[in-house]
Amino acid sequence: MAELRTDRLTLRRWRDSDLEPWAAMNADPEVREHLGDLLTREQSDASVALFQAEFDQRGYGWWAVEVQATREFIGFAGLDQVDDGMPFTGVEIGWRLARSAWGHGYATEAALTVLAHGFDTLELPEILAVTTATNLRSQAVMRRIGMTRDPADDFDDPTEPEGPLRPNVLYRIARSTRI
C-alpha cells in the first residue's frame, strides 16, 4: 500500500492507536452531521477493519491521515467505489476530519494528493465526490480541488429516508481537466 505525503500530512495505513480517536470522531454529532447516525465503538472499529480489507483487495481505499509535525491522527481521506444502488457508478473521493482539524486546509491538501494518486498511479479517467446538499464545507473543498457540479446530476440518496440527508449533490473531475 502506498503511503502518501503532503507538506504537512501523511496518509498512511491504519494503526491500532487510530481506533480511539476514530471512534471519538464517529461519536461526535458535528462530525457526523452530514453522515447519519453516530457510531458505537464496535461499529467504528468494524469500519476500520473493512477499510483495511478493501484496501488490501483493491489497492486503494481510505487512508488514515496524520499531521506530520505532531503525528496526531486527524481523520481519513481516500478513494472508494461508489456504493451499489446509486444512480451512477465510478470511484469516489472523500475525507472526514476531526473538528480540531477543521479550518486548517487539511481536507483540501489531502484531497489534492488523493486526486493525484487516483489519476497518476491508478490512471482513473474520472473521480466523483458526493455529499448532502447542505454540506457546504465539503462542497467548497470539492470546488477548491477543481471539481465541478452539474445540478442535473443531483439526486436523492436511495439509502436515506426523507430528511436533510436524502438530497445529495454530485461533483466530478476528469483526469484530462484536473488542475
Q: Identify the weakest region by mean pLDDT among 22-31, 34-43, 156-165.
A: 156-165
Long-range contacts of 44-48, Cβ-Cβ distance < 8 Å, separation of 24 or more: 44/19, 45/19, 47/22, 48/14, 48/18, 48/19, 48/22
- Give the pLDDT of residue 69: 97
- Report the share of the chain in percent with pLDDT over 90: 90
Mean pLDDT over the full length of the chain: 95
Q: Which three cell numbers stand for residue 149?
A: 457540479
Q: Identify the weakest region by mean pLDDT among 8-17, 44-53, 145-154, 159-168.
A: 159-168
Provide mean pLDDT across the span 140-159.
96
- Give the pLDDT of residue 1: 60
pTM of the model: 0.94
